[in-house]
C-alpha cells in the first residue's frame, strides 16, 4: 500500500510531529510518499519518499519538512484533474491531508469524487469546528502571552498604551487566550466588536487609575464604527482570503489623537507561528498522526481526526470545515471581568 501525506496552508508548529507520527506508526508494508508544498506538489508532481530515518527527531522542529503553499487545485478544472492524474501516477491508495479549513475543504471535495482521504486539522487560529483544539494553537498562545508579559514593563515605565496585534484571521482565539494569560487590560476580537468610544472609555478609566495599558487586539477586529476591516493588501489568495493586518497601528494613532495619551503598536504576526512547538502541540500532533494512520489502515476514509476531551476521535471532514468555530460570548464575558 502507498500513502501520500501533504501539508497545506500556513505553516504551523506541530506539523512535523504529525508527519513523524504517521510515518513511525505505519506498518512496514506501507510506503509513505511526502508530497511537497501542499496541493501544489500534486499538480507539479513534486514528492519525496519518507522513511523512519527521515522523520527521526523532527517533532521538535517548527514549520514542515514537506513545505507548504496556499494552492487551491479547484481553481481550475485542469489543476483539479492534474491532481487526480498524478495520484494515479504515484499509485497512491490513500492521501492524508494536514491543513486548515482550506486544505481540508479541498480534501473533502476529492473524497466526494472518490479519493481515499483522511484529514488532520491544523491551524494556529484554532477555528476548526468539532475538535477541542488544533495543534499549533497552544504554541501561538504561549508566544503571544510571553510577548504581552514583556510589554507590561515598558508600557508602565513610559506611561503608554501599547496595542499588541495578534493573528487569528476571523476569530479571536489566540488573542483572548494570550491576552487573558498575560493580563492584557483590554482584549479586542472580531466576534465582539466595540465602538471607538467604548474602547476609549475603557482605556481612559485604566489610564486615570494606573497610567499605562496593554491592549491585545486581533488582526481581524473591526470597531463597530469602522466601515471596513484594516488590511495590508486587498488582493486575495487562491482561497479568497485578504491579508489582514494594521488594526493595532490604526487604533494606536486614533486613540492617541483623541485622548492625548502616548501610544505604540506591536505586531506579533508570523512570530506566533515560527519556531519549535510546545510539548502540548508535539503530543497532540503525534496523537493526530498515529490516529490518521490508524484510519488509513482501517479504510475509514472521508474522516478528520479530532480531539474530544482527552480522546482522539474521528469525524466526517465536513463537520470540521462547514462552519468556523468562534469564541463564545461566555468566554468573552469572563475575559471582560479583567478589563480596565
| Distance, CA of 157 to CA of 212 (rounded, Å) | 8
Tell me, yes or no, if 125 is annotated catalytic.
yes
Residue 141 is a binding residue for ligand F6P (CB under 6 A): no
Question: Could you tell me the smallest distance in angstroms from the CB atom of residue 16 to ligand F6P?
Answer: 17
Of 49-57, 123-131, 142-150, 320-328, which part binds ligand F6P (CB under 6 A)? 123-131
Owner of C-alpha cell 487526480: 84
β-bridge partners, 308: 311
Residue nearer to ligand F6P on the CB measure, 202 or 244 = 244
Residue nearer to ligand F6P on the CB measure, 13 or 223 = 13
Of 119-127, 203-211, 257-265, 292-300, which part binds ligand F6P (CB under 6 A)? 119-127
Residues in contact with ligand F6P, shown as a per-residue x/- string from 68 to 107 under the rule CB under 6 A: --------------------------------x-------
Length of the chain: 340
Residue 213 is a binding residue for ligand F6P (CB under 6 A): no
Q: What is the β-pairing status of strands 213-218 and 94-99?
A: unpaired
Cα torsion for 168, 248, 156, 178, to the nearest 10°?
0
CA separation, residue 32 to residues 42, 95, 226, 245, 280 (Å): 15, 10, 50, 38, 26
Residue 144 is a binding residue for ligand F6P (CB under 6 A): no
| Distance, CA of 113 to CA of 124 (rounded, Å) | 29
Residue 66's contacts (CB-CB under 8 Å, 6 or more residues apart) are 5, 6, 7, 15, 19, 34, 35, 36, 37, 41, 48
* Binder among 125, 177, 191, 318 for ligand F6P (CB under 6 A): 125
Q: Which of 11, 125, 127, 281 is catalytic?
A: 125
Residue 172 is a binding residue for ligand F6P (CB under 6 A): no
* Binder among 67, 168, 223, 289 for ligand F6P (CB under 6 A): 168
Residues near ligand F6P, by CB under 6 A: 10, 100, 123-125, 167-169, 219, 243-244, 273
Looking at the annotation, which residues are catalytic?
125
Amino acid at each position: 500500500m502507498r500513502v501520500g501525506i501533504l501539508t497545506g496552508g500556513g505553516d504551523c508548529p506541530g506539523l512535523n510531529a504529525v508527519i513523524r507520527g504517521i510515518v513511525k506508526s505505519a506498518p512496514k508494508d506501507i510506503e509513505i510518499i511526502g508530497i511537497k508544498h501542499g496541493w501544489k506538489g500534486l499538480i507539479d508532481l513534486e514528492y519525496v519518499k519518507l522513511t523512519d530515518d527521515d522523520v527521526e527527531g523532527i517533532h521538535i522542529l517548527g514549520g514542515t519538512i514537506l513545505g507548504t503553499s496556499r494552492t487551491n487545485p479547484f481553481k481550475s478544472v485542469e489543476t483539479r484533474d492534474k491532481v487526480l492524474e498524478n495520484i494515479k501516477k504515484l499509485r497512491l491508495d490513500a492521501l492524508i491531508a494536514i491543513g486548515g479549513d482550506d486544505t481540508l475543504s479541498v480534501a473533502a471535495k476529492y473524497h466526494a469524487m472518490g479519493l481515499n482521504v483522511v484529514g488532520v486539522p491544523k491551524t494556529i487560529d484554532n477555528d476548526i469546528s468539532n475538535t477541542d483544539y488544533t495543534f499549533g494553537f497552544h504554541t501561538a498562545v504561549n508566544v503571544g502571552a510571553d510577548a504581552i508579559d514583556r510589554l507590561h514593563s515598558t508600557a508602565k515605565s513610559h506611561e503608554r498604551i501599547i496595542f499588541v496585534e495578534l493573528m487569528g484571521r476571523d476569530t479571536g482565539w489566540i488573542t483572548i487566550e494570550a491576552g487573558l494569560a498575560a493580563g492584557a487590560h483590554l482584549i479586542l476580537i472580531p466576534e465582539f466588536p466595540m465602538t471607538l468610544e467604548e474602547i476609549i472609555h475603557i482605556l481612559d478609566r485604566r489610564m486615570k487609575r494606573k497610567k499605562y495599558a496593554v491592549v491585545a487586539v486581533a488582526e481581524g477586529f473591526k470597531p463597530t464604527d469602522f466601515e471596513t476591516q484594516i488590511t495590508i493588501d486587498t488582493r486575495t489568495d487562491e482561497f479568497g482570503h485578504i491579508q489582514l493586518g494594521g488594526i493595532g497601528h490604526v487604533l494606536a494613532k486614533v486613540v492617541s489623537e483623541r485622548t492625548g495619551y502616548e501610544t505604540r503598536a506591536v505586531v506579533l504576526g508570523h512570530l506566533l507561528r515560527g519556531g519549535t512547538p510546545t510539548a502540548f502541540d508535539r503530543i497532540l500532533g503525534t496523537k493526530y498522526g498515529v490516529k490518521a494512520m490508524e484510519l488509513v489502515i482501517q479504510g475509514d476514509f472521508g474522516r478528520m481526526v479530532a480531539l474530544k476531551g482527552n480522546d482522539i476521535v474521528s469525524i466526517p471532514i465536513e463537520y470540521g470545515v462547514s462552519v468556523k468555530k468562534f469564541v463564545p460570548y461566555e468566554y468573552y464575558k469572563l475575559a471582560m471581568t479583567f478589563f480596565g
